[in-house]
Amino acid sequence: MRIPLWPRSLFGRLALLLLAVILVSQVAAIYFFRQDRAALIARQFGDTKLVEIRSLRAALASIDPASDAALSKFGNAYHVRIVADPEQRAASDPDRRSGLSDPDRRFGFDPERRFGVAPGSPQLVELERRLKNELGPDTELRIQPRLQLLWIKLVAGPHAYWAGFPLPPRQEDAPSRALEWSFIILAVLLPSAYVFARYLARPLRQLNAAVARVGEGKSPAPLPESGPSEIVNLNRGFNQMISNLRQIEQDRAVLLAGVSHDLRTPLARLRLGIEVGTPDETARQGMVDDIEEMDRIISQFLDFARAGDNSPLEVCDPGDIIATVVARQQRAGHAVGFQREELSRIPLRSTAFERMIGNLLDNALRHGAPPVEISVRASDGALVIEVCDRGAGIPPDRVEYLKRPFTRGDPARSGVPGAGLGLAIVERIARLHGGTLELEARSGGGTTARVTIPMGPASADARTTA
């Protein structure tokens, strides 16, 4: 698995940005600390120090470079360490061609690295250029951090010497203390950056959760209209959208209920007139059947309008409700079998649940073929209800289409009864209980409609707030 270097979430990007800012600030602090120390060394060699160096050079011009006593005397007088240039000393003293004297070693001369390293910071390079202008082009500058010495090569007459000036004093534990403070600052800033990034990303997480609830067919709580202006405007627009959707849903329910109510009154009058005034029994029975079919369609309109109701939850046995619906179908002469298992009592909206079972059986009887079988069981903490028939089945690419309102299995068949709301009602009631509806082909021919409803406490809370 490849881990992306650039985070995809806004929180990750904010955290990475804050971390980069902290690290850059720490590197900058260390850099400026080193630059300040180099500047302090450069400021040490002002005009007064240059006069002192000229005086030292004039004094060294009159002594023998091989005389350690003379060099030590002048070093004590000027508070510096003085070492004759090794090449000239070896030329003037044949006994020292193969090595260095103890004073040389004591004063820090290293035959491999000479007198330290050349200056690297801009301030020290500028100081070397200035010393060459004042003391001559043969002047050189070296830094020896181990002994805390700044070595300057002075040409005094025919001889050359190295004068080691002490560097400005610094505390021995300064680097460790700086490192400790850096870790302390990081330990404080990193958690603060994490909390700050989560605080900035929290409104987007809330919006993401609310959008997910809308996608599940649920109505989320209004988002807080506080915080940055961009977040406020975004949440305000989302809340207005949810309010409009609720209003549309209420208007649709009122429309369906009103149309259904207005149609039932004239249908009742028609039925009464047919039963009283039509002598032909066959024609009269056909008209009665048509009226009953229209009444069933109106009932589906009402069921669809009530499918999202918030009736109170009741703790009941789902098997009892299913057995009641199956018995009603069997009394009507339909071949419906019921395989029942012992189930625990769970919170349900019993009226809506009974309506869902009735629509599942009606859909199987009208669009499938007998025998129709219904089973219920508990599986993995969920209530699973399956209604199976032996009809022609449903093509897999039309499953989601058939869950939409006012759709049928074969649009070209005008003789199929119903308004195309049965599965839409089933799915809405299943969502009302935190569940799902699945349609799949049955082995041996036919269709299996499966409703899965969670049985745990968390699902009960979800059904309460749906």
Cβ contact 316:350 at 8 Å: yes
Tokens 């680097």, located at residue: 175
Please state the three-class secondary structure of 133-186 as a single string. Answer: HHHCCCCCEEEEHHHCEEEEEEEECCEEEEEEEECCCCCCCHHHHHHHHHHHHH
Topology annotation, domain 311-465:
Heat Shock Protein 90 (3.30.565)
Residues 25 and 57: their CA atoms lie apart, in Å, by: 45
Domain boundaries, the chain: 45-166, 230-306, 311-465
CATH 3.30.300.30 fits 230-306, yes or no: no
**What distance, in Å, lies between the first and last C-alpha atoms of the chain?**
38
Please tell me the predicted confidence (pLDDT) of residue 383.
93
Q: What is the pLDDT of residue 4?
A: 60
Q: Which helix (H) or strand (E) holds 213?
A: helix 174-215
Q: Minimal CA–CA distance to 156: which of 310, 259, 18, 53?
A: 53
Handedness of CA 105, 109, 110, 111 (dihedral sign): negative
**Alpha carbon distances (Å) from 256 to 4, 250, 259, 299, 424:** 52, 10, 5, 10, 15
Neighbours of 286 (CB within 10 A): 13
Residue 270 CB partners (closer than 8 Å, separation 6+): 287, 291
Looking at residue 372, its pLDDT comes to: 92
User: What is 45-166's CATH number, 3.40.718.10, 3.40.50.10190, 3.40.50.720, 3.30.450.300?
Assistant: 3.30.450.300
CA distance 213 to 211: 5
Distance CA 147, CA 211 (A): 68
pLDDT at residue 361, rounded to an integer:
92
Predicted model pTM: 0.45
Pairing mode, if any, of strands 336-339 and 372-379? Answer: parallel
Distances (CA, A) of 69 to 16, 52, 73, 99, 103: 63, 21, 6, 19, 10
The answer for 333, left when phi > 0, alpha when psi is -120 to 50, beta otherwise, is: left
Per-residue pLDDT of the chain (466 residues; tens, 9 = 90+): 455 666 666 667 777 777 777 777 777 776 666 666 556 655 666 666 778 888 888 888 888 777 778 888 888 888 888 888 766 554 444 444 444 445 444 444 443 455 677 777 777 787 788 888 888 888 888 888 777 788 888 888 888 888 888 876 654 555 566 667 777 777 777 787 777 777 777 888 888 888 888 877 777 888 888 877 777 888 888 888 888 888 777 767 666 666 666 666 667 767 776 776 666 677 667 677 667 767 766 666 666 666 555 567 889 999 999 999 999 999 988 889 998 888 889 999 888 898 899 989 988 888 888 889 999 999 888 999 999 998 888 888 777 777 776 666 654 443 455 556 778 888 888 888 889 999 988 888 889 999 999 986 544 444 554 4
CA gyration radius, the chain: 47
Torsion of CA 375, 380, 381, 385, to 10 degrees: -20
Q: What is the spatial distance between Cα 44 and Cα 187, in angstroms, rounded to a whole number? A: 37
